[in-house]
Amino acid sequence: MAGCLERLLGWEKMDNKLPELHRPLPTTGAWSGILEALAFFRDPDFVGQRFNQLGDVYATRLLGQPLVFIRGGRAISDLLSQSDATVGWWPESVRQLLGTRSLANRNGSDHRARRRVVGQLFSAAALRRYSPEIVMLVDELAADLQNAITPIPLVARMRRFAFSVIATVVLGLQGDDRDALFADFEIWTRALFSIPIPFPGSPFSRALEARTRLLARLGGVLKRARDQEEAGQPLAGGLDLLSGGLDEAGLPLTDDDLVEQLLLLLFAGYETTASSLSCLMAAVLQNPEVLPWLQSEIDSLNWPLDEQESTPRLSALVQEVMRLNPPVGGFFRRTTRELVLDGVQVPGGSVVQVALASSNRTRSGEDRDAESDDLDQFRPERHLNGNSGLTLLPFGGGERVCLGKALAELEIRLMAVGLLRQLNLSLEPDQDLSLQLIPSPSPRGGLLVRAMSRNGSN
């Protein structure tokens, strides 16, 4: 009899626990969001402090924009598992500079169709095609480092490498095209997170002008690739992989559409990968106890590395570096109806920021007491055997998970194995190794190093 009553009330499945009540959304109470915005830019622990006060899901306002911040495995998986109730969202400056056709600004079948087309640039077969050129870039850098008489700033070299991979190896840009594109791209990037008012001479208005030039140049590159393909001439890069790409209605994607996707790839693939490479090298150089542990694995590998060779220690190291310094500190969704995230009610129409940087450094909810907390420490071994107990999503998740993840992982693997197999690197003394965080983490002093060949010569 008692069992029937329980079943009727729907409690039986819950092991006799009371049903969990959904909590209302805690808020900082900010009204205009001006003070919050000032604190946001001044205080690197802005988000973390408010999580500690208000819990893993809370609302505030930044310069008039209401925002819900979330952290921790439960809130994040609740959000990503309800993709029917969310759409992508970017700040207005990013939205305008990427453009309305960019897949980052699209949703539903529009978004899926473009991901299918662009994703062909990052298939396993495409990566196999890019690998030898990436290896050549790594070998060139190793030779430059070894031949240098003065210390070399690794950050600048990692940026150059990441740009070459996406611009030259993937998109096939050469010489003048690449240099002009790089100059405009830097102007464009500087205004990405600026106030989107195009008054004359402002960074945003200069970025809009640079965007027009960038799209025209990318359009020229696309047309040249198509002409070469039609003439049966060999083509640099992977642009041929995009030909025949169809939109959501089964019609060929226009060139105007395709060039906005290429611009997105330059943006998404450059800064992030350069940051992860610089932070990885900084971590190896600053934690001398890690090097012999890593080096014994690296010395057992081939160079150039075979695709199938497994690198558990290097993978654990990369995970730890991205845990402490995720190249993308957070990403956004907008809810289209009320959602419950980690037991907290979030109204429809909310902009939600998934705070990766805060999630990775703190155990949340009931996991908080699960293990002795050493999350401020750099300890790559925690990721061996995949049992760190943390939800790490440096590449995001769900339907919008990073499209270039496999390429980024390949670049990192090849750079780390290529350099550390061939060279002993040492840090120059007296340099600023603290990280600037915007747009992505990177050592302020540029990471000056000297290199010696591991065969004995320098």
Binding residues for ligand HEM (CB under 6 A): 88, 103-104, 115, 166, 264-265, 268-269, 272-273, 276, 327-328, 331, 394-398, 400-404, 407-408
- Cβ at position 445, least distance to ligand HEM in Å: 22
Which is closer to ligand HEM, CB of 168 or CB of 272?
Answer: 272
Measured CA distances, 276 to 133, 203, 287, 378, 443 (Å): 20, 27, 16, 15, 11
Closest to ligand HEM by CB, 58 vs 395, is 395
**What's the min distance (Å) between Cβ of 58 and ligand HEM?**
20
Q: Which is nearer to ligand HEM, 13 or 128 (CB)?
A: 128
- Min CB(431)–ligand HEM separation in Å: 24
- Closest approach of Cβ 112 to ligand HEM, in Å? 9
Shortest Cβ distance from residue 123 to ligand HEM (Å)? 13
Contacts from 299-306 at CB under 8 Å and sequence distance 24+?
Answer: 299/421, 301/417, 301/421, 303/417, 303/418, 303/421, 303/422, 304/131, 304/132, 304/135, 304/414, 304/418, 305/413, 305/414, 305/417, 305/418
How far CA 337 is from CA of 66, 129, 348, in Å, comes to: 16, 44, 4
CB of 139 closer than 8 Å to CB of 133: no
Nearer to ligand HEM, 33 or 161 (CB): 161
Least distance to ligand HEM from the beta carbon of 270, Å?
8
Is residue 200 classed as helix, strand or coil in its secondary structure? coil
Residue placing its CB nearer to ligand HEM in the complex, 50 or 333 = 333
Q: In the bound complex, what is the minimum distance in angstroms from residue 318's beta carbon to ligand HEM?
A: 9
Closer CB to ligand HEM, 327 or 380, in the complex: 327
Closer to ligand HEM at the Cβ: 37 or 410? 410
| Nearest residue to ligand HEM, scored by beta-carbon proximity | 404
Our CB check for ligand HEM shows the closer of 46 and 161 to be: 161
Q: C-beta of 19: minimal distance to ligand HEM in Å?
A: 31
